[in-house]
Amino acid sequence: MDLLMDIAAARKRLRKFRIAIDTHTQSVDEDQQHDDNMMMELQESRLAVEAALETLVSQSPALLLQRKCARFFPTLLQALDVRGSSGLSELQGLGYFPMDQPTFLALQTFINGFHTEMKFSNESTGAEQVESSALFFKGNLLWSSMETATMQLLYKFLQLREERGMTMIRATEQSEMNRILV
């Protein structure tokens, strides 16, 4: 980490020297010899900082990481099935539905009311109370009181059920069409 901080500091010094050289070049002073000496000092300092920066960059693991990423990510992107999935499903993430604050508060009120109603109805019937809940809209998670790992498992199950269910429905429709044609 110190190496990266040193590289950042060297780049900052180099920028400052370049700005000073540009400013010094643009200004016209009467003492030309003093300007030439100052310009020589700035140029020497700039060259020294550039040399130090090159040395630091050669020691940095950033170039190695950049080369590895350049080889890895194109291969990964080609391997992903982009037709049948989104980036969230490939990375096993949850698709959260975007909501503004009033909508979220209204949803939270609805969920709390639902839990309260179930609590009172369960006391009279002796049924179990609701421990956790999740609310989805068009495949996106609106709200969940479950742990993230449990929610990911449930989300994956629901996705698979939807995919397999759609496949089964299409297969049934196809077999019915074949019977009609025969």
51 and 108 part of one domain? no
pLDDT, mean of residues 113-123: 76
- Among residues 50, 76, 102, which one ends one of the domains? 76
14 and 94 part of one domain? no
The reply to whether 94 falls in a domain is yes
The yes-or-no verdict on residue 175 having pLDDT over 70 is: no
pLDDT, mean of residues 109-121: 82
The yes-or-no verdict on residue 6 having pLDDT over 60 is: yes
Residue 113: which H helix or E strand, with range?
helix 101-125
Distance CA 119, CA 91 (A): 37
The yes-or-no verdict on residue 111 having pLDDT over 70 is: yes
Distance CA 39, CA 31 (A): 12
72 and 91 part of one domain? no
Number of folded domains that form the chain: 2
**Residue 12: per-residue pLDDT:** 92
Residue recorded with tokens 């693991």: 61
Question: Which of 66-75, 99-108, 169-178 has the lowest average pLDDT?
Answer: 169-178
The reply to whether 8 falls in a domain is yes
- Among residues 55, 76, 97, which one ends one of the domains? 76
Among the listed residues 117, 116, 112, 161, the one whose alpha carbon sits nearest the alpha carbon of residue 135 = 112
The reply to whether 81 falls in a domain is no
**Residue 81: per-residue pLDDT:** 57
> 160: domain range?
87-181
**Residue 126: per-residue pLDDT:** 47
56 and 128 part of one domain? no
41 and 107 part of one domain? no
Query: What length does the chain have?
Result: 182
Distance CA 14, CA 47 (A): 9
174: helix, strand or coil = helix
Distance CA 148, CA 160 (A): 18
pLDDT, mean of residues 93-121: 79
* Full DSSP string of 51-77: HHHHHHHHH-THHHHHHHHHHHHHHHH
Q: pTM of the entire structure?
A: 0.38
